[in-house]
Every structure is written in C-alpha cells, then in structure tokens.
C-alpha cells in the first residue's frame, strides 16, 4: 500500500478523478453521479472495482454507488452533506491549507484538552472550536483531542456511533473546515489528536455489509457484530481501516490518533491490525519527516500494546490509563461500586504514580480473575491520565462533572494530582473553570425502535448498577443543549479563580524539569494510609534536588513526616492559600521542616527539596 496517496474511494488527479472500492460480492458496480451518466467500474483482483481518468465528476458533485442496482453511499466518502443515508459529495482533499511546516511536539510535552465539537462552543462546529483556541493557549494546553468526528446519524452524537469513518460530520463543518482548524491549531503551537473508532460501527446508516464481509459472527462485542479483522475476506477490511488511519495524518495533518477501546478489537492474525496500522504510520512518518502518535484506550494492563512491533508488541506509542482515574476518585471519596469496586484508594493511587498500572498480576474481584502485567521499562509519557473524561462523566446517569460531586478544594487537589504526575495529563473541557453543566449521553437516531432500544439500554445499565432515578432522554434535543459549556461562568469570581489555579499548575509543570520528566524510576510515592494522604517525590536522575508533592484527600488537617533524606527548600504552590480561595495558608515554618509538614484538608502543596 502506498501511504503517500489515497488508495480508496474518490481521488482527484488534476481535472480528472480515479475511483477504487472493495466490493467482493458484487457482480456490477457503478458510480452514479447526480444528473450525469453512470460510470461502470471494472472488476480487479481481490474484490476491488476501479475506474480511472474520469472527467465527468467535479468537486461538490453528489454521487452514489450502485451495487448490483442498489444505491448506497460511498464507504470511503469524506462528506455526506445530506446525512449518512444520503448521497456522498466529491471533495478534493489535495487542495488543503498549509500547516506552515509544523513539526509535532514530543509526546512527553503533550498537555491534552479533550473536547466534544458539538458541545464545546455555542456554534457546535469546527469554527466554534477555532474561536476558543486562544483560551486554551492562555491556559497552557499543548494538544487538543477531538472526540470522534466520523459521520453519524442525525445532528448530535458523542461520535462513537459513526458509520462512515472517512466522512467528517457535516454538521461540524465537513472536511475542509477540519483541515482549516488543524492548520490554525498548528499556527498557534497546538498539536491535534483525533479520536477514532475501529472496534465497531454505529447502528444507523451502517451499509458496509452491503459491500463485503466487514463483520463477523466469530466474536461478540458490547456494540453488535465484531469488525472482521481475521475471518474470511478480511483483507479488504484491514486495508480499509489502515487507509483511514493514514488519511488523518496525511490529508488532515492530524498529529495523533486516540484509538477507542482497542481491547475490543478481535484479531488473531499473524500480524495484528494494530501492528499494521503502526507499520504504515511509521512508513508515512519516514516519508514526511514528521512524527505521528498512536494512543490506545485499553483496559487490559498489557504492555504488549505499547511495545514496539520489533519486539512483537502492537506498536502503540501510548495509552489511556483508567486505573489511575479509578484509584484517584476512590481516594477522593467515590463509592466503591461498579468499576471502582477493585480500588483501594490511596494505596492504589501511590502504586499508580510509580507503576502506571495498579493491577499487575493481582486478583481482581470485579473481573474474578488475576489480572494485568507490570509495565516496568516503559516511559511515563506512554500513559495518559485524567481526573475526568467524556466516559467517566457522560456514563454517569446525570452526567455530573467533578464540580458537582466534590468540594472546590477537592477539585483543586484532583487537578494537582493529574498535572504533577509523571504521565501525560489530560483535562476534560470546562474542568479548568469548574463547569457545572452536565455532559450527558445524547443521540439523534431517526429510527424510533432504535431510539427506544437505546433508552431501555440506559435504564438497564443503571438498574444493574443500583442507581436510582431516571436518566435524561438521550434523544431529546434539550439533553444535548444542557451538555454545552457555559463560557459565561468564566466571568464569575470563583470560576475565574479556578482557571487561574489551573494556569499556575500548568506553568509549574512547564517550568520545572522535575515535573516534566517521565522516567518512572525517579518517582517515589510515600503512602500515609491512616491520613488518606500521599507524598510524591519527583526528581531528575542527574540532579540533587527534587519536588515534593503533598496530597491530602482527607477532611482533616494532617501532619506528614518528611522523608529523612530530604531538606525542604521553597514552597511552590499551596492550594489552601487565600489567593486560591482556600481555607488557610499552611502553618509550616523552617523550624519544623526537619520532622513533618502540615497540610490542610483536601489540599495540595508542592515544595522544592535538596538531598542530604
């Protein structure tokens, strides 16, 4: 496969077009252009159909594919202006705005901001995101992460119901608007991560089965039939997915992909599909001279996913770490139920700071199995951590953010726990000003039976978790509108103060190399179980000083013993100070530094220290 050019769907070559599609079960395939004569495609090897040097199709023309007379959208369409059931539109991706010779930044320098295009701004599109980029620059963000933008049914969706992975959601602005947004981000020094979904396709507008064996009954997934990566006829499916991943890097200048729930990708091929995506990404990187990253969401605690292909790994550059989130939230008082059941709070949080994974071969009650493997030898920059994200907010019945679950002081502590960790930190949109609007689950399916099935599924999910009450209707437009950020809150004194606090934390991370280093061998966690508190020592291997972070998750003032080898130097930040609207400044003085440090309830302090 040539990664330097598009090898699937409609491609422009000057004033002419080429077309290539995989439809191994078809006996006749035509390109049906609106108000023009149909074009017959020729059968080629391995189930492909092609037509070359087409002069009758122009940019913005609407077209369909006819598979044995049945009219369908193009599976490799980049725009569906009338929705996923409508015609595809011819778009020339070669004519894209310049990215001003942008060079992706190292993964270790990512400070990620996850956002949902539809609810991030009042406009709910890529232009709305562009208008808010200066806010993110002021905050100190270095990378934005867009939740999935692949075309889905209707006007509103989280994005995980996408059915045409090459098509950019029309209500967000389509492909040209996304290219423009990425170029603008790069001009402002921001990397762009895109969330992609290769483990399943959505339920409405999914016509892939009409073209070939895209799905298999060989495996089961929570979302329906599994994508066929290793069964009969899977070669076309694999190329389709690899082409999609490369398209984002090559044609949209996306810097990194976040691959949704890769543990749900079932593939027993000799070369796993993730390995193939990694190999092709590396090949493109060599051709362009630009680094691209693959970041997996994975709940298996298996370092093979983030090990190089040359070591028989799956080649992902990094992964999300839910376990850090779970341990952090239990330490903060989250009830131990559902996926929090396995987590012991402060002790597991201390382990997560040092090892990234909590479960590295221990017995898990929730899984009823021994689970996980050590990630020793892996760099901290391979792990992305967060105190909240779209899943852990939106999958709550009422979509509550930390701002409505925790005190103002605890929110500051959670922020510090993430932004001073030896991993890649990620914020969820609005948390930097303690946004109070919920982030709810919403859809816009047109099939009444499907809508009712979604409603019932949500009810059953919460009933199984023993959650009382009634979930907001996911189909209701009000559910979507309630999930939009309230930017006016930034004008309120308390919210503005939270924003300034986040700015200060990010500035500290950028200022001190001890907080930037991701060498996990230099991280030491001191657990104070009875006090529900932690000390995290952050240092560089070649320096005789460190930063000592104190985290008190309890509701009482605590006195924590200073490690014997450390001498306290300077206080860098105290979340309990009055300037951060805290209850009281720490009473620590140089005279009592030799034995212990006092820390206020639900608060964070960072000191510079010297080794004795």
- Which is catalytic among the residues 161, 230, 239, 297? 297
212 is in an annotated binding site: no
Active site residue 122: no
- Token pair listed for 437: 């609007």
323 is in an annotated binding site: yes
390 is in an annotated binding site: yes
| Nearest C-alpha neighbor of 260 from the set 298, 290, 308 | 298
304 is in an annotated binding site: no
260 is in an annotated binding site: yes
186 is in an annotated binding site: no
280 is in an annotated binding site: no
393 is in an annotated binding site: yes
Q: From the centroid of its chain, how far is CA 384? A: 9
| Nearest C-alpha neighbor of 611 from the set 569, 574, 570, 573 | 569
38 is in an annotated binding site: no
395 is in an annotated binding site: yes
Residues 553, 11: Cα–Cα separation, whole Å: 56
- Token pair listed for 1: 């496969």
Q: Which residues contact 97 (CB under 8 A, 6 or more apart)?
A: 179, 180, 183
538 is in an annotated binding site: no
CB 527 within 8 A of CB 343: no
288 — phi, psi (to 5°)?
-95, -20
CB 192 within 8 A of CB 141: no
572 is in an annotated binding site: no
Q: Which residues contact 391 (CB under 8 A, 6 or more apart)?
A: none
State the DSSP code for 444: -
Other CB atoms within 10 Å distance of the CB of residue 543: 13
161 is in an annotated binding site: no
Active site residue 255: no
- Which is catalytic among the residues 260, 299, 431, 435? 260
| Nearest C-alpha neighbor of 295 from the set 322, 267, 315, 275 | 315
391 is in an annotated binding site: yes
Owner of token pair 């990425």: 182
Residues 75, 80: Cα–Cα separation, whole Å: 11
Alpha carbon distances (Å) from 394 to 149, 157, 212:
17, 12, 34
324 is in an annotated binding site: yes
Tell me the binding residues: 258-263, 322-326, 390-395
Any idea which residues carry the catalytic annotation? 260, 297
Binding residues for substrate: 258-263, 322-326, 390-395
């Amino acid at each position: 496969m040539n990664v330097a050019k598009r090898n699937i769907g409609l491609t422009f070559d000057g004033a002419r077009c080429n077309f290539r599609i995989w439809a191994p079960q078809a006996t006749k395939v035509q390109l049906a252009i609106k108000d023009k004569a149909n074009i017959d495609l020729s059968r080629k090897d391995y189930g492909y159909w092609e037509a070359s040097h087409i002069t009758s199709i122009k940019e913005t023309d609407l077209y369909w594919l006819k598979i044995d007379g049945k009219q369908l959208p193009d599976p490799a369409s980049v725009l569906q202006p009338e929705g996923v059931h409508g015609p595809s539109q011819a778009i020339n991706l070669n004519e894209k705005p310049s990215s001003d010779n942008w060079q992706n930044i190292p993964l270790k320098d990512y400070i990620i901001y996850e956002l949902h295009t539809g609810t991030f701004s009042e406009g709910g599109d890529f232009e709305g995101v562009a208008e808010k980029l200066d806010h993110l620059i002021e905050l100190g963000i270095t990378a934005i992460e867009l939740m999935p933008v692949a075309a889905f049914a209707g006007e509103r969706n989280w994005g995980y119901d996408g059915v045409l992975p090459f098509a950019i959601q029309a209500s967000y602005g389509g492909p040209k608007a996304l290219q423009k947004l990425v170029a603008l981000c790069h001009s402002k020094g921001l990397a762009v991560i895109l969330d992609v979904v290769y483990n399943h396709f959505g339920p409405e507008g999914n016509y892939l089965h009409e073209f070939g064996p895209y799905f298999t009954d060989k495996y089961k997934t929570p979302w329906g039939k599994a994508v066929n990566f290793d069964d009969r006829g899977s070669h076309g499916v694999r190329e389709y997915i690899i082409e999609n991943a490369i398209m984002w890097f090559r044609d949209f200048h996306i810097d990194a992909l976040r691959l949704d729930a890769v543990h749900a990708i079932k593939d027993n091929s000799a070369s796993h599909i993730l390995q193939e995506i990694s190999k092709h990404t590396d090949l493109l990187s060599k051709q362009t001279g630009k680094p691209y990253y693959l970041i997996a969401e994975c709940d298996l605690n298996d370092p093979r996913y983030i090990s190089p292909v040359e070591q028989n790994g799956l080649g992902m550059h990094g992964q999300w770490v839910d376990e850090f989130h779970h341990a952090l939230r239990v330490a903060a008082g989250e009830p131990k139920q559902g996926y929090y059941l396995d987590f012991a709070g402060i002790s597991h949080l201390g382990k997560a700071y040092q090892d990234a994974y909590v479960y590295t071969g221990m017995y898990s009650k929730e899984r009823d199995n021994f689970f996980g493997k050590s990630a020793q030898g892996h760099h901290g920059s391979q792990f992305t951590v967060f105190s909240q994200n779209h899943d852990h907010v939106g999958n709550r019945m009422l979509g509550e953010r930390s701002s409505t679950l925790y005190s103002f002081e605890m929110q500051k502590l959670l922020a510090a726990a993430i932004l001073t960790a030896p991993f890649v930190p990620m914020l969820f949109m609005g948390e930097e000003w303690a946004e109070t609007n919920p982030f709810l689950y919403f859809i816009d399916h047109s099939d009444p039976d499907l809508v009712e099935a979604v409603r019932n599924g949500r009810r059953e999910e919460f009933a199984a978790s023993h959650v009382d009450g009634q979930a907001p209707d996911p189909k209701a437009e009000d559910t979507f509108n309630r999930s939009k950020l309230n930017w006016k809150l930034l004008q309120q004194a308390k919210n503005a103060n939270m924003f300034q606090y986040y700015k200060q934390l990010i500035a500290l991370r950028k200022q001190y190399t001890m907080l930037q280093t991701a060498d996990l061998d230099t991280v030491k966690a001191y657990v104070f179980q009875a006090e529900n508190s932690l000390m995290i020592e952050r240092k560089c291997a070649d320096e005789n000083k460190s930063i000592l972070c104190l985290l008190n998750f309890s509701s009482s003032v605590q006195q924590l013993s200073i490690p014997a080898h450390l001498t306290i130097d300077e206080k860098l930040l105290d979340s309990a100070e009055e300037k951060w609207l805290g209850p009281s400044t720490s009473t620590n003085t140089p005279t009592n530094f030799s034995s212990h440090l006092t820390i206020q309830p639900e608060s964070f302090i960072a000191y510079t220290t010297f080794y004795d």
